[in-house]
Structure 1
Amino acid sequence: MRVGLDMGGTKTDAVVVDPAGAIVGRVRLATGWGGDQIVRTAVAAVRAVATDAGIGLDDIVSVGIGIPGQIEPGTGRVTHAVNLGVDELDLADAVAPALGIPVRVENDVKAAALGAYVLRGSAHGFHPRHGSMAYLNLGTGVAAGIVVDGELWRGARGTAGEVGHISVDPNGPECRCGQHGCIEALSGGGAVAARWGRPGALPVADVFAAAAAGDPHARELRAGVARGVAAAVRVLVLTADVELVVLGGGLTGLGAALTGDVAAELAASAEASPFMRSLQLEDRVEVLPAGSPAAALGAALIGAARDPEPEEVLAHG
């Protein structure tokens, strides 16, 4: 049995994956704030999901944790997980002794990319060791994970997929990275909320609603969101030539309002360019189903990569 955790800013999603690749247990817990509480949450989540699956800790061979922030290559050390109150934390070394189980840590978007790749392969009846896919996470920020033939592609320094900080409009809004007109500055939930500047529980949803009602500022922001997401899709296809771009993250809760705008942006570029038209970008975009366990599943598979034969770890549900 393998356990995967997706540790987000408010909740932790935990799954147990059996030797056949099926998810046999799943629980969600509130995520604590700060390093000590993150460790306590991870340990509690593993124990809780083991109970849910009716197994003991001695039945678990590995734990994988997907978490926001940067992961130092070859370690379980997390840095700059600002949404969790963590500047630096050796998460693997803190959690493994408490459980007596090997622990591996990965960036949450990369974990979600692997999980989404495997789930889609299972759903469509093809072997998840073949093909390529990018997972584009649209949340507070914008980032992607790329999977090729069942393996995460991290790049030379682990930054493959960081499309959020590609500038697509030098005269556009300032990004938190210091550039102007980055994809994240146009499409990141945090950037849109800041530019909207009005209080609300779901500011990006408020922007889309106000745009539909004719508010000119909201219409400008909404158009920017679609422009940024469409640009990210183009970058991922034109640079990595992935077969599919799967959209996930909180902004996908906007549903057809978002995907319709993005499709229109992609169609406009196709109309203007025979080359772009030949790429059939509109047909290469899908949305991750709401409530999908992709990130936690991906974390479980990454944790299982410590096993002697990780190539046999497939998921079917």
Structure 2
Amino acid sequence: MRLGFDVGGTKTDAVVTDGAGRIVARTRRPTAWGPQGVVDTVLGLVDELAEVPGVAASPFTSIGIGMPGQVAPGTSIVTHAVNLGVDELDLGAAVGARLGMPVAAENDVKAAALGAHALSRQSRGGDARSTVAYLNLGTGVAAGLVCRGRLWRGAHGTAGEVGHISVAPDGPLCKCGQRGCIEAFCGGAAIAERWGRPGALPVRDVFDAADAGDPDAVALRGGLAYGVAAAVRVIVLSGDVDAVVIGGGITALGGRMIGPVVAELEASAAASPFLRSLRLPERVELLPPGSPAAALGASILGASNAEEIITHG
């Protein structure tokens, strides 16, 4: 039995998977604030999962944790998880020592990429695509790349940081200091700031207002489609991935969001035989709502880490 956690700013999703990678139990709870809060949340969920019928009879053999922030490859130390109040947290020392097993830690988007790849394989009856990109549309925008079942991190761990590629030099100002970044067009925080009206779900409000004919909302919705389509083109043109799986909070809009993106991809391809040959709209998939991709990916990382330690230990 393998544990996987997706530690988010508001909630933590936890799964138990079996040796075949199937999810056999799942639960979630609100994420407590700060380093100790994160640790307490994870340990509390471990205790809860250990009581699930069918799980309790077998010991946990590995644990993987995905969470926002930076994780140095080969370590379990998470830094700069500002949305959780964490400057630095060694999950191996804080969680692994308590549970008596090594901890694999990874950025949540990269963990979700592994999970999206596994879910894609399961949905295709075990027929695995060789390369899959996961594009996360949330407060910010980032991607994770999986090649032959393994994460591609790049030389310095920044592979997939498509959010800060400028696609319009005269476009909106991005928090990173550039203009026209993909994230400035389709990141949830950037859209909310440019919309400038109070609301619990600003991106949904923008789409509702656009449907009602508000010109500012129509422009923001068009910008979101432009930004997501640009991200898909960048990912496919640079990595030639089989599929771009899109997830994150903004995808709760479903067809209302993906429809304009596909239309944008088709419009750009209309003027380019080369782009048409890539069949970009056919490579785009939406992650199913409520999918535990990041927690599943974390469990895969944890299992791989445990096997590596056993093999080389």
Partners of 1:229 and 1:25 in 2: CA distance: 33
AA at the equivalent of 2:13: D
Maintained 8 Å contact 2:140/2:187: yes
SS of alignment partner, residue 200 of structure 2? coil
Maintained 8 Å contact 1:113/1:146: yes
Partners of 1:42 and 1:242 in 2: CA distance: 34
Q: Which residue of 1 aligns with 2:26?
A: 26
Q: Which residue of 1 aligns with 2:222?
A: 223
Maintained 8 Å contact 1:61/1:102: no
The alpha-carbon distance between structure 1 residues 181 and 65, as it changes in their structure 2 partners (threshold 3 A), is same
AA at the equivalent of 1:37: G
CA deviations 1:241-283 (Å, max 9, x no partner) are 0010001011011111111100110001110111111100010
How far 1:307 moved relative to its partner?
2.9
Q: How many residue pairs are counted as aligned between the two chains?
A: 309
Using structure 1 for the length normalisation, give the TM-score.
0.94
Q: Which residue of 2 aligns with 1:77?
A: 77
Aligned counterparts, 1:1-317, within 5 A: 1-56=1-56, 59-128=59-128, 130-308=129-307
How far 1:287 moved relative to its partner?
0.3
The alpha-carbon distance between structure 1 residues 111 and 53, as it changes in their structure 2 partners (threshold 3 A), is farther
Partners of 1:174 and 1:53 in 2: CA distance: 52
Moved beyond 4 Å, runs of 4+? none
AA at the equivalent of 2:164: H
Partners of 1:8 and 1:195 in 2: CA distance: 25
AA at the equivalent of 1:160: A
CA deviations 1:169-197 (Å, max 9, x no partner) are 11111111111111011100011001111
Maintained 8 Å contact 1:2/1:300: yes
Q: Which residue of 2 aligns with 1:315?
A: none
AA at the equivalent of 1:68: P
How far 1:57 moved relative to its partner?
9.6
Maintained 8 Å contact 1:76/1:91: yes
Maintained 8 Å contact 2:102/2:306: no
AA at the equivalent of 2:295: A
CA deviations 1:109-147 (Å, max 9, x no partner) are 11111011011111112344x511100000001000001
SS of alignment partner, residue 80 of structure 1? strand
SS of alignment partner, residue 51 of structure 1? coil
CA deviations 1:48-96 (Å, max 9, x no partner) are 1222254459701110000011112221111111111112211222111
Partners of 2:195 and 2:59 in 1: CA distance: 50
CA deviations 1:182-222 (Å, max 9, x no partner) are 10111000110011111101000000111111111111111
RMSD: 1.5
Partners of 2:68 and 2:259 in 1: CA distance: 28
Query: Which one is further off, 85-94 or 102-111?
Result: 85-94
Identity among equivalent positions (%) equals 63
SS of alignment partner, residue 296 of structure 1? helix
Unaligned 5+ segments in structure 2 are none
AA at the equivalent of 1:82: V
Maintained 8 Å contact 2:96/2:103: yes
Maintained 8 Å contact 1:248/1:287: yes
Query: Which one is further off, 270-279 or 86-95?
Result: 86-95
SS of alignment partner, residue 59 of structure 1? coil
Partners of 1:44 and 1:54 in 2: CA distance: 19
Partners of 2:99 and 2:92 in 1: CA distance: 11
